[in-house]
Amino acid sequence: MARTKTTYDVFSAIGEPKRRVLIEQLVLKEMTVNELVEKVQWPQPVVSKHLGVLKQVKIVREKKNGRHRVYRIQPEELRPIQEWMHQFEKYWGGTLDQLDHYLNNIQARGKNEHE
Amino acid sequence: MNMSKVEPSVIKRQFNAPRQLVFDAWTKVEHLNHWMFPMQGCTCEFVSADIRDNGSSLHKITMPNGHEMWLYTKYEEVNSPDRLVFLQYMSNQEGEIVHANPVPNWPKDMLATLTFEDIDENNTQLTFLWEPVDPTEEEIKAFEETRAQHESGWGAGMAQLENYLGSLDA
């Protein structure tokens, strides 16, 4: 079957709600495919397919543990996403914290330095 | 049904600074480069800033891990020192808007409305509203769903992830 292989980036990889569910589960603890299937109650090929995508963008890493393959999250890879998921409260809330620091700093430095 | 009204998200903050200074911090590059980023360890660089009614700006935020974000801002209203209204987009370094939000159907246009009010001569109240512009039904749904997620993150998982990321920063 000649089918173009879809390429994913971190953003498109987590655009699919099922993959977000898998990420949520794996953040809680590392698991095998069977353990994941049991948790989410989807057919095993569905779980494997989505895990494959997450592996491709390195959000999930596979590691051999005896005769099992265990899947774990690579949280650093999610960092760009995180900024967006919480954009308003996290992003702007954090940015307003910076503004607060900045205003306090420049005023402490001397009230004549800004116009 | 097309007139669906979306309740804006709101942040209210008080700043220990006069209103004019708080406002200028949003509109002058010599201020903006020092604070316009979401967390310590980031840097910000405005490469263009024409901050007035119908003007625009382009800035780059570099995250502590080196990840770079370009943000293009279109200003609808710059009314010193009372009100600032803008649309902000993820862009490339040419300032061309890219739609990279991972949330499907995320509203294309998000409007920020900032109101600055005196508490007294040295303290300012900022009210920051954030809402989609002329959203489609799908966009309203995406916005509302994401708002619900704001409270619980992605459930317990996201809270843990954040703790973990927090520990990486330390």
Q: For residue B164, list chain A residues with Cβ-Cβ distance below 8 A.
A: 27, 75
Q: Given A28, A81, A95, which is nearest B157 (Cβ)?
A: A28
Cis before residue B81, ω within 30 degrees of 0?
Answer: yes
Are the beta carbons of B153 and A86 separated by less than 8 Å? yes
Are the beta carbons of A85 and B149 separated by less than 8 Å? yes
Query: For chain A, what's the residue count?
Result: 115
- Name the token pair of B162: 């954040």
Query: A47 CA to chain B: closest CA distance, Å?
Result: 18
End-to-end Cα separation, chain B, in angstroms: 49
What CATH number should be reported for the domain whose range is B9-134? 3.30.530.20
CA angle A99, B146, B3 (to 5 degrees): 100
Q: Of the candidates A66, A64, A67, A76, which has an alpha carbon nearest to the alpha carbon of residue A27?
A: A76
CA atoms within 13 A on the CB side of B59: 27
Q: For residue B103, list chain A residues with Cβ-Cβ distance below 8 A.
A: 15, 84-85
Q: Between B147 and A58, where is the model more confident? A: A58
Domain residue ranges in chain B: 9-134
Q: How many CB pairs under 8 A join A and B?
A: 121
- Taking only the tens place, the pLDDT of each residue in B103-138 is 677 788 889 999 999 999 989 999 988 888 988 888
> In this structure, which CATH number among 3.20.20.70, 1.10.10.10, 3.30.70.20, 3.30.70.2190 belongs to the domain A1-73?
1.10.10.10
Q: Between B143 and A82, where is the model more confident? A: B143
Kindly tell me if the per-residue pLDDT of B154 is higher than 50: no
Report pLDDT for B157. 42
Query: B1 CA to chain A: closest CA distance, Å?
Result: 26
Are the beta carbons of B104 and A76 separated by less than 8 Å? no
Report pLDDT for B152. 38
* Whole-angstrom distance, CA of residue B23 vs CA of residue B104: 34
Kindly tell me if the per-residue pLDDT of B93 is higher than 60: yes
The one-digit pLDDT tens for each residue of chain A (115 residues) are 444 556 677 766 776 778 878 987 887 789 999 999 999 999 999 999 999 999 998 889 999 988 889 999 887 776 655 555 445 666 787 788 889 999 999 998 875 544 4
Report pLDDT for B51. 97
Kindly tell me if the per-residue pLDDT of B148 is higher than 60: no
A95 touches B at CB < 8 Å = yes
A92 touches B at CB < 8 Å = yes
Q: Between B93 and A14, where is the model more confident? A: B93
Report pLDDT for B149. 53
Report pLDDT for B153. 35
Q: Of the candidates A79, A35, A83, which has an alpha carbon nearest to the alpha carbon of residue A58?
A: A79
Report pLDDT for A103. 92
How does residue B2 score in pLDDT terms, banded at 50, 70 and 90?
A: very low
- Taking only the tens place, the pLDDT of each residue in B7-51 is 888 888 888 889 999 999 999 998 999 998 877 778 899 999 999
Percentage of chain B surpassing pLDDT 70? 78
> Whose structure tokens read 């974000």?
B69
Q: What's the pTM?
A: 0.62
How does residue B69 score in pLDDT terms, banded at 50, 70 and 90?
A: confident
ipTM score for this prediction: 0.77
A61, amino acid identity: R
Are the beta carbons of B38 and A88 separated by less than 8 Å? no
Q: Given A15, A82, A95, which is nearest B36 (Cβ)?
A: A95
Least CA distance to B32: which residue of chain A? A99
